[in-house]
Each structure stands twice: as structure tokens, then as C-alpha cells.
């Protein structure tokens, strides 16, 4: 089955990279099915988003970017941050992108990776 994706969103009106990331994260955490598809399309068209923001990588379940973050030192699996101030495990487990079949496995594996590196399951 071929799914017709919505047109790429025009985010040029957003004033800063932070605003752009917040919009993308809003789609990932609160988005409608259409907005989630837009978020995934953005990642395909702009894969550098994953390397610029570990929080996008968490929401998308991008294991390579998470491994790089975890290599930055002790405690990084629990360190809150990003535009929404979440610990990485919360960022992974609260992503609605898990409802998208192409993301489910990656998000589950990313959660496992964070747990292996000492992420606190009680973090909020």
C-alpha cells in the first residue's frame, strides 16, 4: 500500500532553530497522525536534524545518535535537557512516533539502550 504523504511543512517562518525543534518535538509528542507523518518526512528530507539535536534523536529512536550522547560521560542517560527539559528515557518513551510502524522497533531498542546505560526508570 502506498501512503500519500502530506507536503513538506514550510517552517521558514520560525525565527530560530529552537523554535523549529520545538515544533518538530510537538509533532512527535502531541501530533495528529498527519503531523507525525510530517515529522518523519522532515527527518527523511533533513537527516541532519538527528545529529543536531539528541532530543530529536530520542523522539525518533535514533540509536546511533543516542550512543554518541551516551559516550559524552557518566550520567548522560539521566541528564534532562533539550527544549522540553526531559531526561532521555522520558523523551524516548513519550514519543507518539511509536504509533508509526517504521518507528516502533527503533524506539523500543533506544529505550533498552538507555536502560543498559543506567537510565532511571522513575525519572519524570
Q: How many domains does the chain have?
A: 1
Model confidence pTM above 0.75: yes
Confirm whether 8 is domain-assigned: no
In the 8-state DSSP scheme, what is residue 86?
Answer: B
Confirm whether 121 is domain-assigned: no
Q: Is 62 helix (H, G, I), strand (E, B) or coil?
A: coil
Confirm whether 1 is domain-assigned: no
Range of the domain at 99: 17-116
Give the integer Cα–Cα distance in Å for 106 and 110: 6
Residue closest to 103 by CA, chosen among 48, 14, 31: 31
Confirm whether 71 is domain-assigned: yes
Confirm whether 86 is domain-assigned: yes
Confirm whether 79 is domain-assigned: yes
Q: What is the CA radius of gyration of the chain?
A: 14
Cβ count near 37 (within 10 Å)? 18
> Residue-wise over 72-111: b if at least 16 C-beta within 10 A, else e?
eeeebbbeebbbbebbbbbbbbebbbbebeebeebbeebb
pLDDT tens, per residue, the chain with 124 residues? 444 445 555 555 556 777 888 889 999 999 999 999 999 999 998 888 887 788 899 999 999 989 988 887 667 889 898 888 899 999 999 999 999 999 999 999 999 999 999 999 997 6
Amino acid at each position: 500500500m502506498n501512503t500519500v504523504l502530506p507536503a513538506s511543512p514550510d517552517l521558514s517562518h520560525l525565527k530560530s532553530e529552537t523554535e523549529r525543534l520545538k515544533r518538530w518535538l510537538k509533532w512527535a509528542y502531541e501530533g495528529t497522525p498527519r503531523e507525525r507523518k510530517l515529522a518523519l518526512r522532515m527527518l527523511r528530507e533533513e537527516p541532519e536534524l538527528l545529529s543536531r539535536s539528541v532530543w530529536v534523536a530520542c523522539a525518533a529512536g535514533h540509536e546511533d545518535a543516542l550512543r554518541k550522547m551516551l559516550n559524552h560521560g557518566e550520567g548522560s542517560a539521566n541528564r534532562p535537557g533539550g527544549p522540553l527539559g526531559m531526561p532521555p528515557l522520558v523523551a524516548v518513551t513519550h514519543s507518539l512516533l511509536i504509533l508509526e510502524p517504521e518507528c516502533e522497533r527503533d524506539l523500543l531498542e533506544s529505550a533498552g539502550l538507555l536502560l543498559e546505560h543506567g537510565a532511571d526508570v522513575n525519572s519524570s
